[in-house]
Amino acid sequence: MADLPIPRAETAPSRPGVRTPLSPGLRAALPVLALLALGFLAPLLTVGAFSVSPEKSFTAFQSFTLENYQAIFAPGNTVWTSFLWSLILAAAVVAILLVVSYPIAFGLVHVFGKWAGFVSVLFVFPLFVSENVRLYGWVLFFIKNGVLDGSLKWLGLGTAPEVLFTPGITLFGMVYVYLPFMLFPMVLGLSMIPKDAVDAARDLGAGRLTIWREIELPLAMPGILIGMLLTFVLAAGAVAEAKILGGQSVITIAQDIEVAFTYAQNWPLGAALAMILVAIIAVLALGVMRRLDLDRILGRR
């Protein structure tokens, strides 16, 4: 007698009200989600609650008022100058680092060869030293009778120009501090370019500029955009460069927030300024993220 096929048991459809187990991906992501909730979402909600609290109160979640935002948006409020300075400096830092970092990143990927690791360490090593210590080192370098001025006098070349405590030296300090944050995402983007695509374009007669414009730049753009976004976000909230190198010749919005939380003891006003800064950066960041293909960056396709 021929073997009869054994009927397969059909999976019962899920019934309403019956809890289904979490997927493996969601279970693996729970620690990360918990960390983000504790380290990012909870502080952000707390700052948001303080921003709608009465002026100079030190307890959140008790009352609701928009007087802090009304004071910020009141006509004649000079705090918007600080917002403008922060955004202009951040945009200038991004533009300068785009020009400075690309040749270095290209060299790390294609030129330096076995020395690429050593060159990378040279850019990473300053991150192990406090930012304030490095900035005070530049103060000693540029200050009158300091390293630069003293060396020029010793060589009989006159005195060094006074560059400390100016907006220009503030921009220089920000470029110096945030160079690694632009460089290494750019290296990642350039390393994602398939060598076969470049060789094929060269075999078909494409020139170097055409290869760069049509192949290398579009394929490296995800890494470049990540570097731009990371650098802009960090530079928009910078405060040490303006205080140490700039001598407060430029007042950034981060410094206004610091003053509101410390000297003025007006936490709700500082929280409102912080929330507006977060909103501005979030809008810009989401605009950039919409142009990123994260699946391709992570190698999923």
Report how far residue 120's alpha carbon sits from residue 236's, in angstroms, rounded to the nearest whole number.
25
- Amino acid residing at 156: G
136-160 pLDDT, tens digit per residue, is: 999 999 998 888 888 888 888 888 8
Report how far residue 294's alpha carbon sits from residue 300's, in angstroms, rounded to the nearest whole number.
9
Global pTM exceeds 0.85: no
Report how far residue 55's alpha carbon sits from residue 282's, in angstroms, rounded to the nearest whole number.
26
Are residues 46 and 267 in contact, defined by beta-carbon separation less than 8 angstroms? no
Report how far residue 212's alpha carbon sits from residue 110's, in angstroms, rounded to the nearest whole number.
14
- 174 pLDDT above the threshold of 90: yes
Closest CA to 281 of 19, 44, 33, 4: 44
Report how far residue 230's alpha carbon sits from residue 292's, in angstroms, rounded to the nearest whole number.
13
**Rounded (10°) CA dihedral 248, 159, 136, 265:** -20
Percent of the chain clearing pLDDT 90 (strictly above): 36
The class that CATH gives domain 79-265+279-297 is mainly alpha
Q: Where are the domains of the chain?
A: 79-265+279-297
- As given in the structure block, the two tokens for residue 25 are 């991906």
263-300 pLDDT, tens digit per residue, is: 988 999 999 999 999 999 988 888 777 766 555 554 55
**Mean pLDDT score, 107-112:** 88
